[in-house]
Amino acid sequence: MVKRSKPLRGFINERDVGVELKMNKKLDDNDSLPTLDLQRSKGSMGALDDGCYNVVLENGVKLDGIEHEPETVAIKDAVKVLLQGLGEDVNREGIRKTPLRVAKALREGTRGYKQNVKDIVESALFPEVGVENGTGLAGGAGGLVLVRDIDLFSYCESCLLPFQVKCHVGYIPSGQRVVGLSKLSRVADVFAKRLQDPSKLADDICFGLHHGINPTGVAVVLKCSHIHSPNFQSAFLESNHKRLSSIIVGSGLGTFENPDSADWVDFFGLLRCRDITLDNIRSRNLFKDSWCPSRSQKLGPSVNPSMETAVALILRSLGQDPCKKELAGTPNRFVKWLLSFKDSNLEMKLNGFATIPLKTSGLINHKEHIIRSEVNLSLWSLCEHHLLPFYGLVHIGYISGEEINPIGKSLLQSIVHFHGFKLQVQERLTRQIAETVSPLLGEDIIVVVEANHTCMMSRGIEKLGSNTATIAVLGRFSNDHLARSQFLQTIPSYSL
């Protein structure tokens, strides 16, 4: 049921100012504009290093000044504490720049606190004669204007992990004016780029548009998906662990305040999404404690006070009060989740597993040998470049002339988990799995890892739904393209 939000005050005011760019050096009338010099960074590894090129003015001033701002420096220092709490060397190649990457991602992902909705909307209101007060007849062709499938991401205020948003916004124009369609998306993005929960996000977008364009009515429906990352212990107990927790929420003002309004019929009629109806939009009270998976866990004593203090410092650096009700347990939840990826002792955990018989999930005749396979092994890991989770599936193939294999699927899943539950990059993870299973399955190994990376959506790239596949081959798979092809054809279509 769609319920009217309580008045949400304070987000369209003098404090919500846009980001102002200033030149450190004023140009005199006779000065020419400085030329740009693309200088390659020292130690660069090509396009894979996001410090590959720095744009520098002739006078030596870098255009990217965020790195030295106090908020960024504070977050960097806090992230170093988190890395040290995980037992990492902050000067290790691969994570040396992680604190800066995390700081940039967080500041980018919360830039909405410094953006003014009123300025965005007022610059894009256009006269339309057919739109009269209270009638909503846009150009005489009908009332509702709907923008569907706006892809957004936001940071969960309960655990600081990013979540995906599919946003649908509709409004009924009035006052002989309409708003530029792109502005609906921009307003939605302003509120998404704040620490949020789904219902509050829907309310914020709805309220912002209602007061910004003064329509006859405005409605917002969101489908939000939160990563349901398990801890190390539960991953072994639940082989088919739920990967995403999804919720559908809505908010309406004006003629949409009444859930029985005919305008809602028009909205869902134009939306044409079978899985989104008025009946399955749940109120905040129904999912308040289940939306974020970490909220189902009771807050306990501090597991690492210095790490929790560091998270609280990050919140302050983002302009938020960690003592606020919505954020009070966030440092504790985030640290507990993060510590799930503290490096584990693989060699100790493998003891005792080598005699479990394997029931293979796939057999392919290849010349005089058989290609055996185990597919859809669950994967969870943490990107060491951005401290953000990635998750997916692992597929293992090997060539064997034997009728049975001396190890079981549980061991293969254990190997995947032990390499996954630590700071990783997908390429290294794929190779490590191949090298670990080789002494157990034989020298002819192929490993494919398919994963979704939350860093792809939350650090400025914003490629929601994209995924990455990597492959590692040993033995005959290295030079036998037919064997590789036969195995790859056995892998089910990727869907997460």
CATH number of the domain at 154, please. 3.30.1130.10
Query: What is the predicted pLDDT for the residue at 212?
Result: 87
Burial tier of 182 (Cβ tally within 10 Å: 0-12, 13-18, 19+): exposed
For residue 425, the tally of other CB atoms under 10 A from its CB is 14
Dihedral (Cα; 349, 352, 356, 361), 10-degree rounding: 10
Calpha distance 318→18 (Å, rounded): 15
Which pLDDT value is given to residue 260?
Answer: 85
Burial tier of 212 (Cβ tally within 10 Å: 0-12, 13-18, 19+): buried
Residue 494 has a pLDDT of 72
**Residue 409, pLDDT score:** 82
Can you give the pLDDT at residue 331?
95
Q: Is residue 452 part of a domain?
A: yes
Average pLDDT over residues 269-282: 78
DSSP string, 323-382: TSGGGTTHHHHHHHHHGGGS---HHHHTTT-TT-----SEEEEETTEEEEEEEEEEEEEE
Domain assignment present for 56? no
Instruction: Provide the pLDDT confidence category of residue 371 given band limits of 50, 70 and 90.
Output: confident
Say if residue 282's pLDDT is above 70: no
Is the pLDDT at 130 greater than 60? The verdict is no
The angle subtended at Cα 152 by Cα 148 and Cα 158, nearest 5°, is 130
My answer on whether 424 and 288 are in the same domain is: no
Higher pLDDT, 422 or 287: 422
On whether both 353 and 257 belong to a single domain, the answer is: no
Strand 369-383 to 423-424 pairing: parallel
- Same domain for 216 and 357, yes or no, is no
Identify whether the C-beta of residue 177 lies closer than 8 Å to the C-beta of residue 125.
yes
CB count within 10 Å of CB 251 equals 26
Predicted pLDDT at 305: 95
Total structural domains in the chain?
Answer: 2
Compare 63 and 208 and report the one with higher pLDDT. 208
Mean pLDDT of the chain: 77
The answer, yes or no, to whether residue 63 has pLDDT greater than 70, is no
Whether residues 476 and 405 share a domain: the answer is: yes
Q: Which of 48-52, 238-242, 453-457 is most confident?
A: 453-457
Residue type present at position 397: G
Is there a single domain that holds both residue 402 and residue 287?
no
Residue 495: inside a domain, yes or no? no
Give Cβ neighbours of residue 38 (< 8 Å, ≥ 6 apart): 53, 54, 55, 56
pLDDT band at 167 (very low <50, low <70, confident <90, very high): very high
Least reliable range by pLDDT among 9-23, 68-82, 318-332, 347-361: 9-23
In a domain, 110, yes or no: no
Indicate whether 125 and 241 sit together in one domain: yes
- Top pLDDT among 395 and 23 is at 395
Task: Clarify whether residues 285 and 411 are in a common domain.
Answer: no
Q: Both 376 and 254 in a single domain?
A: no
Higher pLDDT, 188 or 245: 188
Residue 427 backbone class (left: φ over 0; alpha: ψ -120 to 50; beta: rest): alpha
Q: Which residue has the higher pLDDT, 148 or 362?
A: 148
104 — pLDDT class (breaks 50, 70, 90): very high
Tell me the C-alpha distance between 74 and 293, whole Å.
Answer: 28
Q: Is residue 258 part of a domain?
A: yes
Q: Is the CB of residue 185 less than 8 Å from the CB of residue 355?
A: no
CB 421 within 8 A of CB 341: yes
Average pLDDT over every residue of 12-41? 35
94: in domain:
no
Same domain, 373 and 263: no
User: How high is the pLDDT of residue 289?
Assistant: 55
- Given this model, what pLDDT does residue 493 score? 84
Residue ending a domain, choose from 296, 330, 363: 296
Give which of 406, 420, 404 is closest to 349, Cα–Cα.
Answer: 420
Whether the predicted pLDDT of 424 surpasses 90:
yes
pLDDT over threshold 90, residue 179 = no
Question: What are the counts of helices (DSSP H) followed by strands (DSSP E) for the chain?
Answer: 15, 15
Q: Which domain holds residue 386?
A: 346-488
For 59, which DSSP code? T
Phi and psi, residue 53, nearest 5°: -125, 130
Of 296, 329, 360, the residue at which a domain comes to its end is: 296
pLDDT exceeds 70 at position 459: no
Q: Is 440 inside a domain boundary?
A: yes
Three-state secondary-structure class, residue 491:
coil
Q: Is residue 395 part of a domain?
A: yes
Nearest CA to 446 out of 472, 468, 420 is that of 472
> pLDDT > 70: what percent of the chain?
69
The distance from CA 441 to its chain's CA centroid, rounded to whole angstroms, is 35
Q: Other CB atoms closer than 10 Å to residue 35's CB: what's the count?
A: 7
In the listed set 254, 270, 296, which residue is the last one of a domain according to the structure? 296
Domain match, 122 and 271 both: yes
Same domain as 164, residue 254: yes
Same domain (yes/no): 289, 359: no
Look at residue 22 in the predicted model and tell me its pLDDT: 34
| Chain position carrying tokens 């254990």 | 414
Question: Does the structure show a pLDDT above 70 at 360?
Answer: no
Helix, strand or coil for residue 322? coil
